Amino acid sequence: MTVLTDAVVLVLGASGGLGSRIAAMLDDEGAIVVRAARRPESLSGPDAYLADLRTEQGAASLVAAALQAHGRLDGVVVAAGVVAFGPAAEVSDATLAELLEVNLVGPIRVLRDAADALAASADAGREPFVVTISGVVSESPTAGMAAYSASKAGLAAFVSATAREYRRRGIRVLDARPGHTDTGLATRAVAGSAPAFGTALDPDDVAARIVRAVVDGEKDLPSSAFTPES
């Protein structure tokens, strides 16, 4: 079991529908939550920072801010992301760049830039962790969302390999792959319009399942872990 009391946890995408819930639930577990987002109008508070994961220094600046404020880093949750819809043959370069930079390259930089701080947490006897959210499309790439699916599948592949490397340093890496969740992200697509998805998962339930996995020491959360019985 991972004790979250007084653990310093950086939550990226903390103003989003899922990230805000995870941050609040980590607070409830006694964690010291460092919230991060890229839009100033969506984030406030004394332990909140702005950074753009599309820039080369965005991830590093957030890790540095957490270390400067608290002297250590015990966990990272990457809940930032964007979505786009439309035929694969029509995806624009701008949309493709946005999807890959936010959903894939940015999280890769976060895991890279946080590695030493998280390893130091392990050396100090704590139980550091990273959570990423690649979503069900990384398991089942979806027509009409090909570029989005590719960005998330790439993240899942990177995390799967990284988890084996980071385990040697005492860092647990957990990828969550919930199905469509009612966070409002689909209404803020960078391109296209969302299709009819059917019944969505409750974001409170998804966030609670992710936080429970952190506490219970789980190492993977496939889409099947987000059924009502899970």
The residues annotated with a catalytic role in the active site are 148
Cα-based distances in Å from 95 to 45, 132, 138, 153? 31, 22, 18, 17
**Assigned token pair, 25:** 């639930």
Q: Which amino acid is at 5?
A: T
Among candidate residues 85, 72, 88, 2, the one with its CA nearest the CA of residue 34: 72
Cα-based distances in Å from 177 to 112, 134, 152, 202, 222? 21, 5, 10, 14, 5
**Assigned token pair, 62:** 């957030």
Cα angle, residue 190 at apex, residues 184 and 84 outer, rounded to 5°: 80
- Three-state DSSP at 212 gives helix
Length of the chain: 230
List 8's β-bridge partners, or say none. Answer: 32
| 8 Å CB contact between 146 and 88 | yes
Q: How many CB atoms lie within 10 A of CB 55?
A: 14
